[in-house]
Structure 1
Amino acid sequence: MQDLKFTMEVAEKLSYIKRNLQEVLGEDKIVEILKSRDVKIYWGTATTGKPHVAYFVAMSKIADFLRAGCEVTILFADVHAYLDNMKAPWELLELRVKYYEAIIKAMLTSIGVELDKLKFVKGTDFQLSKEYTLDVYRLSSMVSEHDARKAGAEVVKQVEHPLLSGLLYPGLQALDEEYLKCDAQFGGVDQRKIFTYAEKYLPQLGYSKRSHLMNPMVPGLTGTKMSSSEEDSKIDLLDSAAQVKKKLKKAFCEPGNITDNGVLSFCKHVLFPLRSSAFEIKRPAEHGGDAQYNTYEELEQAFGKEEVHPGDLKNSVEMYLNALLEPIRQEFEKPELKKLTSQAYPIQKKKGAAPQATGGGDDELVPSRLDLRVGKITSIKQHPEADSLFVETVDLGEECGPRTVISGLNGLVSMEKLDQSLGLFLCNLKPVKMRGIESQAMLMCASLEDHSQVEPLSVPEGSAPGDRVFVEGYEQGKPDEKLNPKKKIWEKLQPGLFVNEQHEAQWQGNSLMSKLGKIMTKSVKKSPIK
């Protein structure tokens, strides 16, 4: 009788662990562990874009793991975030780690998870250690470029000539299993190739092979994968009730469609697992009256038969979702969390418009639209037709060769100081003829309003022609090929450029950065950049 009870307990725990998963690799190992102790599981998230409501899918599974008695570690993968094409500098990533921890704790509290049963770890807590670093080197001696690319195919951006950082990414995720001492790693099915990579290579390092638990990829509100970079496909965790209503109203929810339906999928993977009571559809008597569904399968069947209208389903999801989000909104009304949010994810407000997230759409006034690059002035002479102008030949690291740049600096900056110097150039303005010679870029300078002090911006030591310069806190999206003069993008962005009291070049208070550090001035301060 005791053995039967023990078997039932193992089966119940396994049922919670597997609920709603798409695939489990190494289930037999999990069963064996459950016979003697609780399973140790880790879930990691790279601290890049803002978490959105799709994170509730992972949170509901973490709740399942805890119901099964599992020991759960949540990894804030800041090193992985940095390796993702260095979209954000370390200073910003530190703020984003704090934001992720605060928002995820608020989410877990909202769904009734006790935080004392969880362990929170940062990648930098262990991934910079001597032992871990040596294992990275050991792993790199075993893995081919082909296998590394294949492993990251679903989660690392694929290009013809990938950065080494993207090839390291899967190996680090595999090593995390050993250094976090877990029995299983949990993630989306899009990470399956990384999981099989870990199963292949960890034993070659002398470490045990772990099990892997995979969630399906839940459709977003547009019918595709919910993404933090696609505004219409996601509901932010801090969106107001009005914003939730607006986005759900536009959500893809075709009558009778039970396969490509983000609203219905959210019910399956979040709302039903978290509910202890029936799911209610509220509707007028003339439309069938209120209805209750005790299981997701009942709701799906009714929706497939078109007994539940998409509008009624959306209204119910809106009600339940707002109930989940309200405690999070209230938590982030605290002044310190409001400040953290604005620092971790700076936003640009258009005049008379709602705040715009960092990015680079055609209508967004974000600095990533500017093609700012390091250039070297390889020769310089006075313009033959204008005493105030210099004609410079500038190496911008382009295969097509140097560009001609005209600067109105004669009498303000000496020719000797400019010759062979490195500077910052704006490279996607429309070329313009100045006294018969076409200028193909612009040298960026700090200048007091009365021009009593003018100084070209200085780039970090060790910079090379072609190095990209970006604004801290804004993702390095692809700049406009050419700034449309009719839309006056440069004219609207330029007033935000300024050198502060500490000689730091900034845009709206966010530092101009290259991969080697900040853009500075040597003498001029508290001045516009033109």
Structure 2
Amino acid sequence: MPETVDERMDLITRNLQETLGRDKLRSIMAEREVSIYWGTAPTGRPHIGYFVPMVKLADFLRAGAHVTVLFADIHAYLDNMKSSWDQLKLRTQYYQQVIKAILTTIGVPIDKLRFVVGSEYQLERKYTLDVYRLEAIVSEHDAKKAGAEVVKQVASPALSGLVYPLLQALDEEYLECDAQFGGVDQRKIFTFAEKYLPQLGYRKRSHLMNAMVGGLNGSKMSSSDANSKIDLLDSADMVKQKIKMAFCEEGNIENNPILAFSRAVIFPAFDLWNMNHADAPRRCFEIIRPEKFGGHLSIATFEELQTLFAAKEIHPGDLKNGFAAALVSLLDPIRAFCDTPETQALLAKAYPAPVPAIQADVSRIDLRVGVVTHVAVHPENPAQYVETVDLGPELGERTIVSGIAAHITPEQLTGKSVIVAANVKPSKFRGVASHGMLLAATVAEPAPKVELLVPDEDAKAGDLVTIAGFERKPDAQLNPKHKILEKVMPDFSIDAEGVLVFKSPRADAPVQPKVANNAITVPTLRNAAVA
């Protein structure tokens, strides 16, 4: 441990982006050893970004600080309920194992750390009363602002997102820390704690903030974005493949996730390993390449690596290969640590394979031609018609209720060919059962207008609507809970020529649904929606 306060302070604050309350923390260090806590909410699977705070925990310990790692399970639940209570217990256990594996890999003595699970103390009476005390003095504006960079922001947020920063502030008091450590994205919560803890009679803490390390695609590293991060248990081949696709522009040292992660993790981790293995060969960043491209390089410092890359003496491909090899050397022990039946079983329960989503595929809708043979005004709702529609020899006649009376007369509708969604679940409209849905084009401006979709004049009742690229596989009956129609109908529209088109994420351009190879049109509407 460094001997002087200045040396210990430099070690605690090195490579941080910002420190709030530096003088306060220094004055404490002059009198006694400081206590620092870092918290993580066990939501998505831990990725290589977790190496970044682990490296700083090593600095804190080397400076003689008492370090607490909080597994914030209740915080995880409050953050838009990303996990169920049962899953949270399992994910917390998995996080504990993985965090300890990371720390062991980079040579951090875990016997000097204190591990705490949030629910072990956050459900106690005194803590709960303090939450209520905070709720009585904190405005909605301040709570929302505090969590803006951390809690998932949605159009209609749950109250839990407002409570999240209150708990994180209180944790400083209940974990008896002198400083809280986190990413710079936590800054608003940290300043929130500095403002409100003294109003409860508790002292203001210092705050230590790491710079955010971007994902492989140049954006924020996120558990929910597979392209932005590398899972701690990814195979060596998967690691190399993801790094190969990472953003890394030649000579660019400002926006370069490979260099940023090397600075934050690879070189500090190698330094820790070298310090703890003085008798072994030193580990360094290796660039392996043929002599004609400059030969092998053994790089001891990040500054040297950055200088060479900025001068374009290291090609992006060589940098990626060197980075991949270094990262794999860090991940191998973690994979080995977790490669036990017990841990694999825990992982499978904590992060079960997702259930395939119900595909909102147009192929599941039974679209076909119908001929309207009779029209009557609904006996209890003059805005609706009760139509008899012939759907051909396979399906026969159906009764369908449509709310189009304000736009089309019975005479205009009788005898007309229309397009029908024939496998919707029957619904009752004021006592009249409807066994299908007529498709229509609509515009709202300058005045609401509706026109029914019209197949070619040669179409016959029962003819099928086909869409290029989609094999017809209609459900016997659409389940309303799956909202297939609601999800698919916005992809239909009327183009500038009055032709029905369908645009799917699976297609490069809109295609024309057809009946017997003929387009479906509307009489006068253009650039209209379909419903």
TM tier relative to shorter chain: 0.5 to 0.7
Contact kept, 8 Å, 1:221 with 1:263, in 2: the verdict is: yes
Q: Does residue 1:366 correspond to 2:357, yes or no?
A: yes
Indicate the percent of aligned positions where both proteins have the same amino acid: 56
* Aligned equivalent of 1:82: 77
Deviation, structure 1 residue 310:
1.1
Give the one of 297, 300, 306 matched to 1:294.
300
Deviations 1:313-357 (A, max 9, x none): 111111111111111111221001111111111114xxxxxxxxx
Q: Structure 2 matches for 1:220-299, cutoff 5 A?
A: 220-276=215-271, 277=282, 278-299=284-305
Q: Structure 2 matches for 1:84-483, cutoff 5 A?
A: 84-276=79-271, 277=282, 278-348=284-354, 365-366=356-357, 435-436=435-436, 481-482=487-488
Deviation, structure 1 residue 39:
1.4
Q: Given the superposition, is the C-alpha separation of residues 435 and 367 from structure 1 closer, same or farther in structure 2, using an over 3 Å criterion?
A: closer
Q: Does residue 1:40 correspond to 2:35, yes or no?
A: yes
* Aligned equivalent of 1:73: 68
Deviation, structure 1 residue 408:
8.4
AA at the equivalent of 1:195: F
AA at the equivalent of 1:191: Q
Q: Given the superposition, is the C-alpha separation of residues 301 and 77 from structure 1 closer, same or farther in structure 2, using an over 3 Å criterion?
A: same
Deviation, structure 1 residue 436:
4.8
Deviation, structure 1 residue 291:
1.9
2:295 & 2:160 partners in 1: Cα distance?
56
AA at the equivalent of 2:177: C
AA at the equivalent of 2:104: T
AA at the equivalent of 1:123: G
1:71 & 1:368 partners in 2: Cα distance?
51
1:261 & 1:480 partners in 2: Cα distance?
42
2:250 & 2:345 partners in 1: Cα distance?
42
1:104 & 1:225 partners in 2: Cα distance?
21
AA at the equivalent of 2:28: I
Deviation, structure 1 residue 160:
4.5
Determine helix, strand or coil for the equivalent of 1:275: helix
* Aligned equivalent of 2:414: none
* Aligned equivalent of 2:420: none
Deviations 1:473-526 (A, max 9, x none): xxxxxx983499999xxxxxxxxxxxxxxxxxxxxxxxxxxxxxxxxxxxxxxx
Q: Given the superposition, is the C-alpha separation of residues 55 and 368 from structure 1 closer, same or farther in structure 2, using an over 3 Å criterion?
A: farther
Q: Given the superposition, is the C-alpha separation of residues 116 and 165 from structure 1 closer, same or farther in structure 2, using an over 3 Å criterion?
A: same
Deviations 1:401-443 (A, max 9, x none): xxxx98689xxxxx9xxxxxxxxxxxxxxxxx9645789xxxx
Q: What is the TM-score normalised by the length of structure 2? A: 0.67
AA at the equivalent of 1:248: I
Determine helix, strand or coil for the equivalent of 2:87: helix
Contact kept, 8 Å, 1:390 with 1:408, in 2: the verdict is: no
Deviates more, 1:245-254 or 1:312-321: 312-321
AA at the equivalent of 1:91: D
Deviations 1:423-478 (A, max 9, x none): xxxxxxxxxx9645789xxxxxxxxxxxxxxxxxxxxxxxxxx9x99xxxxxxxxx
AA at the equivalent of 2:296: D
2:210 & 2:437 partners in 1: Cα distance?
60
Determine helix, strand or coil for the equivalent of 2:149: coil
Q: Does residue 1:50 correspond to 2:45, yes or no?
A: yes
Determine helix, strand or coil for the equivalent of 2:45: coil
Contact kept, 8 Å, 2:5 with 2:26, in 1: the verdict is: yes
Contact kept, 8 Å, 1:18 with 1:24, in 2: the verdict is: yes
Deviation, structure 1 residue 282:
2.0
Contact kept, 8 Å, 1:390 with 1:407, in 2: the verdict is: no
Tell which structure's C-alpha radius of gyration is larger: 2
AA at the equivalent of 1:87: K
Deviation, structure 1 residue 241:
0.4
Q: Given the superposition, is the C-alpha separation of residues 229 and 369 from structure 1 closer, same or farther in structure 2, using an over 3 Å criterion?
A: farther
Q: Given the superposition, is the C-alpha separation of residues 196 and 330 from structure 1 closer, same or farther in structure 2, using an over 3 Å criterion?
A: same
* Aligned equivalent of 1:10: 5
Q: Given the superposition, is the C-alpha separation of residues 384 and 337 from structure 1 closer, same or farther in structure 2, using an over 3 Å criterion?
A: farther
Q: Structure 2 matches for 1:500-519, cutoff 5 A?
A: none
1:293 & 1:104 partners in 2: Cα distance?
28
Contact kept, 8 Å, 2:36 with 2:180, in 1: the verdict is: yes
Q: What is the TM-score normalised by the length of structure 1? A: 0.67
Q: Given the superposition, is the C-alpha separation of residues 436 and 145 from structure 1 closer, same or farther in structure 2, using an over 3 Å criterion?
A: closer
Deviation, structure 1 residue 159:
3.7
The Cα RMSD (Å) is 3.6
Determine helix, strand or coil for the equivalent of 2:176: coil
- How many residues in Structure 1 have an aligned counterpart in Structure 2? 392
Deviations 1:149-185 (A, max 9, x none): 1111111233444321111111110000000000100
Deviation, structure 1 residue 221:
0.4
Q: Given the superposition, is the C-alpha separation of residues 86 and 255 from structure 1 closer, same or farther in structure 2, using an over 3 Å criterion?
A: same
1:100 & 1:272 partners in 2: Cα distance?
24
Q: Given the superposition, is the C-alpha separation of residues 58 and 437 from structure 1 closer, same or farther in structure 2, using an over 3 Å criterion?
A: same
* Aligned equivalent of 1:402: none
2:301 & 2:436 partners in 1: Cα distance?
76
Deviations 1:365-405 (A, max 9, x none): 336989xxxxxxxxxxxx9999xx999xxxxxxxxxxxxx9
Determine helix, strand or coil for the equivalent of 2:249: coil
1:239 & 1:49 partners in 2: Cα distance?
15
Q: Given the superposition, is the C-alpha separation of residues 390 and 137 from structure 1 closer, same or farther in structure 2, using an over 3 Å criterion?
A: farther
Q: Given the superposition, is the C-alpha separation of residues 86 and 268 from structure 1 closer, same or farther in structure 2, using an over 3 Å criterion?
A: same
* Aligned equivalent of 1:378: none
Contact kept, 8 Å, 1:39 with 1:183, in 2: the verdict is: yes
1:129 & 1:334 partners in 2: Cα distance?
35
Determine helix, strand or coil for the equivalent of 1:346: coil
1:482 & 1:121 partners in 2: Cα distance?
47
Contact kept, 8 Å, 2:426 with 2:436, in 1: the verdict is: no
Q: For structure 2, which runs of at least 5 residues remain unmatched after alignment?
A: 272-281, 362-385, 389-394, 401-422, 440-479, 493-501, 504-531
